[in-house]
Amino acid sequence: MYLKKRGSFLPPPGCSDLFPYRPYQCPPEPPGPPGPVIIPNIIVMPTVQRYFYIANSDIQAPASIPASQFTNDDGELAAKFPDLGQNSYSNLYINGMLQEGSLYSISTSVLTINPKGTTIFSGTPIALEIVQFSARIIP
C-alpha cells in the first residue's frame, strides 16, 4: 500500500481512509509502459602488428632474437613485442613461408626459434605477425 498525503477530507478514488488525520492508504500504481530496449553493438576489432628481421648469421641451433633487433610496420626498431594475452595469436614467416607453431616461442622481449636440424641462412627474412583482438561496445 502506498501512502498519499491528505489534501482533502475525501480520499482519492481507490484509496482507503483508515485513520483520519493520517495519509490515505492507496493501492500501488500500475507500472509505466516499457521503454525502448537498447542492445549495444559489439564490434570485434583485430589489430595486426608485424615485425621484421633479417638473419645476420646462419641459424642452426635454437636461437633467441631480441625484439629490439626487429623493425616494426613503420620500419623503425621495435622496443618490445606486444604482450600476447588470451586474445592474441602470432604467425612466424621464415623466408616468406609460414612456420609451424612448435618451431618458435615469443615473449615481449625475445623470439626464440628452433630450426630443428635445418639451417636458416644469413640473409633470410624472418617476419613475425601478431594479431590482437579487442571488443568495442557501441551503445
Partner 1 sequence: MAIVKPFVASRRFTGVAGSGTGTGATFSIAATEFTNDVGASATAFPASFAYYNLYINAMIQTADTSSVTTTAITIPDGDVLDPATPIVVEFVVT
Nearer to partner 1, 106 or 128 (CB): 128
Q: Residue 132: is it exposed, middle or buried by C-beta count within 10 angstroms (0-12/13-18/19+)? A: middle
29: which 3 cell numbers?
A: 500504481
Shortest Å, Cβ 36 to partner 1: 52
Binding segment for partner 1 (CB under 8 A), chosen from 11-19, 26-34, 98-106, 121-129, is 121-129
Interaction of residue 99 with partner 1, rule CB under 8 A: no
Which residue is it, cell 495519509? Answer: 23
Nearer to partner 1, 3 or 77 (CB): 77
Residues in 69-88 that interact with partner 1 by CB under 8 A: 71, 75
Shortest Å, Cβ 83 to partner 1: 24
Measured distance CA(47)–CA(53) in Å, rounded: 20
> CB-based contacts of 27: which residues, under 8 Å, 6+ apart?
1, 2, 14, 15
Pick the binder of partner 1 from 38, 96, 138, 139 (CB under 8 A). Answer: 96
For 9, phi then psi, to 5°, come to -80, -30
Residues of this chain that interact with partner 1 (CB under 8 A) are 52, 71, 75, 95-96, 118-119, 121, 123-125, 127
